[in-house]
Structures are given as structure tokens and as C-alpha cells.
Amino acid sequence: MALDNSRVYKVRDVAFDRAAFHITLDDGTIAFTEDVAGHVTGAFFEGEGEVLLSPPNQVERASMALFTGAAILEEKFLTAYFRFNDSTFAELQPSLRPTDEGEQFASQWNQTARNLAEVDALRLLVTFSRDLPTAEPFTAAKNQDQVLHARVFGRKLGAFDIYYDSTAKEQIWAGQLKRVEGEGYYDVWTSFSLNQRLPPIGSSGDNSFGPTAFDAINISDYRIQAEVRPPRQMRVDALLQLEVKAGGQRTLLFELSRYMNIEQIQAETQALEFIHNQAVEGTQLARRGNDLVAVVFPRVLRSGEKLNLHFKYSGEVLSEAGGGLMYVGARGTWYPNRGLGMSNFDLEFRYPAGWMLVATGKRVDSPRLDISAATGLTQGEQVGRWISERPIPLAGFNLGKYSRVVAHAGKVSVETYASSGVERSFPRGSIEATELQPLVPPGLRPLPRTMTVVTPSPSPARNAQTVADTSARAIEFFAERFGPFPYANLALTQMPGEVSQGWPSLIYLSSFSFLTPTERTQLHMSPVVKILSSAVIAHETAHQWWGDLISWSSYRDQWIVEGLSNYSSLMLLQSNSNGTVS
């Protein structure tokens, strides 16, 4: 998005407002960008300016103060980049005066403006794709779609962003990209809704996803066929059934791992245009390894219509951790989604001999793929299909060179999938031993010295039955108090790394949670860490109710399901009659 040499002006004492923020350009030079489909969508300013943003309540003011040192954002700036889809250019025009420094100014700031323009490209595509030629003319309610992004370079605070987006749930937000030890983190200073209503159910509320009217589209069903080729490769064919709750858009945004290459997206039989763009650096989305895919439809979507979207893609989203374990999902989401939302999933996986694969949902014995007729199915290659028993917020799978054990909690079968080894990065345990060297005559013996004996590395498979039993006991305890377990079965699968996660009917359980008490001692875990690591199984089991069956209505409430899962696991701990912790 280049600056236009012929649109460079002197500007003085002009102010503009977007709902909760106020920007003043006191004195300086401003250059506007070239047209996009007849619209001026960007500007770069250098000079003296000021921004004022006053968060509406105590919580947001406290957050602002935490990051900036003041409850109200009041900052003088030296440069500012603006991107908008509205009449900002026309609004400023009366205060613009010609200048003869146009060419020099434009060339000086052109690259900066180009780089910054990328951030908002998809958002503006959502707006302007509505005006693309279409077979069926449709006048969408454009007045509902207004966006202004300002990236200013402040005197005290450095570079930061302020957004107004009329289609977002929280229309105003401000924040800053920070680097900590070389990694980018996006600090959200404040984010709020102008109409302080509660956000609708089922929203992810994560502004980093992109400011679209989220609940306008519901993905009711997924039918996915995936071929998994360890150690890295996956090829996926995903059919999504969409319900358009509120129409008017030509472009929809989806999250998908940046490591997936899309071959094709079709609506019914028609191939659609798409753009797979990088997520804003440092945002939650980018940190999860995801990018955004914008899918452009041949016409404006209508309220109430249902349509099928067919994605074909492949890429390297898996990574190998050693010990017969894989990292699944560490490189972003492997299926297109629009954040957390309740959907039905029908998942079919094809995977090589020697591996075990487990997925969310109930395993069924009737693969869609006709194995006997399938060509290219090599000897020992396996096919498995899992269907969700009720709409679930997200779906996943895990695979490894596991062995399997089963426990029961009433009618619920609890399976554990663990490998005989741990990942390469797992710490080695040790015990101290005193070396006596008895074969040397006493007078010649050196002083006994302590030496460290490295113990054999733990085998999660050996302890898998205990893990299954612990989870089954937790299910019985929770079912008595919170209602029946929501699914027919639960699979606990070993995952490399220290983090565990409880997905619907599938728990990714850290290798650490498979350790026996002795193995924990050998790792020199502190008593508190020991208690916490033994409570993990109960905590993740509790997530089957808190987080999977019952979801949060906005990211602001997400902590409640963590709190409830912790509380549940501590209730169980307390109920153990002897009160001992191993």
C-alpha cells in the first residue's frame, strides 16, 4: 500500500474522534495512500500529535495503568500511521494545505507505510469485498462496518496501537508488541465494548483473531478425512457445514496453522478465492502458530442460508519428540475454525502401521473409507473414525507408539495410552550414592566421595494402569456431584512436555503425570510440585465438565473453568480418607 506523492499535505490543529478515543494532529505533514477500489484507506503523519483514550470502568483503567503507568492514555506522538475503511480522508480534507515536499516525504515513509498496511489487509478485504462485482446485486448494511487503526509512535510509550472496529464485540482496544528474550508478546492494555452488554454465547472474544462479527456464522458440522504421516506430515480433506446467522459478508476469516498449505477451497462445486495471511505478531493467535485464511465468496451471504465449504490442504504440523511420542497441535490448529464454537465432528484418520491414534469423540467401527476397496492403502495401514456424541468446542487427536490399558467408572471406559519411554527433552533423574572403593587397601583409600547415579529413565507405560484408575475414581467422584460424565469414554494419552490439557473425551497428559512416587523423588520435585502434579489427572478429568461440557461466554470468564477444575481436584484430594499424597 504505497503513499501517493500527489496526496501529501501540511496539517494543523485538526482533531478526530472514534467513540472512546480522540486524536489531535497539532502540526505536521500527512501523506495518504493510493486508492484501493476507489477508496483512500491509509495515511502516514509526522509532526506533533496527541492521543487520548479513557477506559470506561475501573477494571480497564487498572489494566491500562498496569501497562502504561497511568489509568488514562494521554500521549504525545511523533509519527502515526492510520488505516481505515471510512471517511477519514474526507473528514480531514478541509484542514489540509498543499506542500512542495510531497515526493521527498512520500519516499521517506513509503516502506514503513507498506509494512504497517499488511496488518489490516484482511480486515479491509472483509469490507471492500462487498463492493466486488457480483451476479446478484446486494446492498449490505455498510454503515455497520467502520474501522480505524492507529499505530502511533509515542514520546514516552514507544510504538503502540489503538483500534476502533464497529463489528468487533469489544470495539475499542489498545495495546503494544513487546519483546521478551527475543519472543514477541502482544500486550493488550485495554479492550472494551461501547455498549456494555454481555457478549453472546460461544464467542472466542479473542480480538487477535480478527475483528469480524463472529456469531454471524456458525459451523454446525465438520466431516474430516485426514491422512497422518509421522513424523511431520498431514493431508486433510475437511468439509464444513456453515449456518449464516446474519448475512451481508462476502469474505469469511478462518484460523489455520501457518504450516498448512491450502490446495483448494470449494463451496459446493465452485472453487473460491482465498488468502492465507500471517497473524499479527505476538498475538495469541500467532503464538499458537496460527494464521488467518480469508475466503471470498462469489456473492454476498444471506441470513439463514446453509452452505458447505470444502478445504483441501496439507503440511508439516506434527513434530517428533522422541520416545515414540509426537507433538500434535504444537504447530497450530490442523483444521479451519473460527475460534471456539460448539460443533459436531466426524473425524476419520488414516495412519501407518505401528502407531496408535486416539481422537475426540466415540470410536465407531464403520469407516467411511472402504478399506477393502481403497487403493494405495499399504500393508498394516490403519483407519479409525471418531464421532462426537454431542456438539463440542474443539476436536483433536493424539498419536504415538503407545500401549493401552483400561479402567472403568460405571459405564464409562477410561483408557490410558502411554509409551514405554519419555521424550528426549525429559530431565534425567538421579540419586546420590557414596562410593567406597572397597577393593583398595584401607590405608590407600581416598576419602569416600559422593557420586551421582543416573537412574533409568521412567516408563509411563508401566504406570498407565494407576493413571487410568486415578482418572476413573475422579470420574465417579465428580459424576456424583456434577452430573453424569458427558461422554461414553475417556482417553488419557501421553504428551511430551510439562503441560496437560483436557479436551472433550481426550486428555493430553504430560509425561510427568505418569511418574511413580519414586520417579518423582528422583527428579527432586518439591512437596508442593508433587501435590500439584498428582492433582493434574483429577484437574484434567474435571475439565470434561468445566470447559468441555460447560463453556465460557467470553474470554473474560475463561478463568472460571480453571478455578472450578482446581477446586474439583482439591475436593477429591480432601476426600481421600488418609489424606496422604503420593
Q: Which residues bind Zn ion (CB under 5 A)?
A: 562, 565
Nearest approach, Cβ of 279 to Zn ion (angstroms)? 24
Residues 6+ positions from 53 with CB-CB distance below 8 Å: 20, 21, 22, 72, 73, 74, 162, 172, 174, 190
**How is residue 554 annotated by DSSP?**
S
Largest separation between any pair of C-alpha atoms in the chain: 102
Nearer of residues 565 and 568 to Zn ion, judged by Cβ: 565
Nearer of residues 113 and 535 to Zn ion, judged by Cβ: 535
Per the CB < 8 A criterion, the answer to whether 397 and 349 are in contact is yes
Residue 477 identity (one-letter amino acid):
F
Nearer of residues 240 and 492 to Zn ion, judged by Cβ: 492
Nearest approach, Cβ of 275 to Zn ion (angstroms)? 35
Per-residue cell: 204: 472466542
Query: Cα(544)–Cα(549) distance, rounded to whole angstroms?
Result: 6
Per-residue cell: 445: 583409600
Per the CB < 8 A criterion, the answer to whether 210 and 123 are in contact is yes
Residues 6+ positions from 516 with CB-CB distance below 8 Å: 458, 462, 463, 466
378-402 as b/e: b if 16+ CB within 10 A = eeeebbbbbbbeeebbbbbbbbbbb
Nearest approach, Cβ of 388 to Zn ion (angstroms)? 21
Nearer of residues 88 and 565 to Zn ion, judged by Cβ: 565
Residue 178 identity (one-letter amino acid):
K
Nearer of residues 305 and 557 to Zn ion, judged by Cβ: 557
Nearer of residues 541 and 565 to Zn ion, judged by Cβ: 565
The secondary element (H helix, E strand) that includes residue 197 is none
Nearest approach, Cβ of 362 to Zn ion (angstroms)? 23
Query: Cα(328)–Cα(395) distance, rounded to whole angstroms?
Result: 12
Residues 6+ positions from 295 with CB-CB distance below 8 Å: 251, 252, 253, 254, 265, 272, 273, 274, 309
Nearest approach, Cβ of 564 to Zn ion (angstroms)? 9
Nearer of residues 63 and 533 to Zn ion, judged by Cβ: 533
Nearest approach, Cβ of 97 to Zn ion (angstroms)? 58
Nearer of residues 15 and 531 to Zn ion, judged by Cβ: 531
Nearest approach, Cβ of 566 to Zn ion (angstroms)? 7
Nearer of residues 494 and 565 to Zn ion, judged by Cβ: 565
Nearer of residues 237 and 562 to Zn ion, judged by Cβ: 562
Nearest approach, Cβ of 498 to Zn ion (angstroms)? 13
β-pairing, 489-495 with 412-418? parallel
Nearest approach, Cβ of 546 to Zn ion (angstroms)? 8
Query: Cα(281)–Cα(95) distance, rounded to whole angstroms?
Result: 35
Nearest approach, Cβ of 402 to Zn ion (angstroms)? 23
Query: Cα(556)–Cα(199) distance, rounded to whole angstroms?
Result: 10
Nearest approach, Cβ of 543 to Zn ion (angstroms)? 6
Nearer of residues 67 and 508 to Zn ion, judged by Cβ: 508
Per the CB < 8 A criterion, the answer to whether 537 and 513 are in contact is yes
Nearer of residues 51 and 535 to Zn ion, judged by Cβ: 535
Query: Cα(551)–Cα(225) distance, rounded to whole angstroms?
Result: 27
Q: How far is CA 443 from the centre of its chain?
A: 67
Instruction: Quickly count: other Cβ atoms within 10 Å of residue 268's Cβ.
Output: 8
Instruction: Quickly count: other Cβ atoms within 10 Å of residue 452's Cβ.
Output: 10
Nearest approach, Cβ of 320 to Zn ion (angstroms)? 26
H-state helical runs in 228-322: 284-287
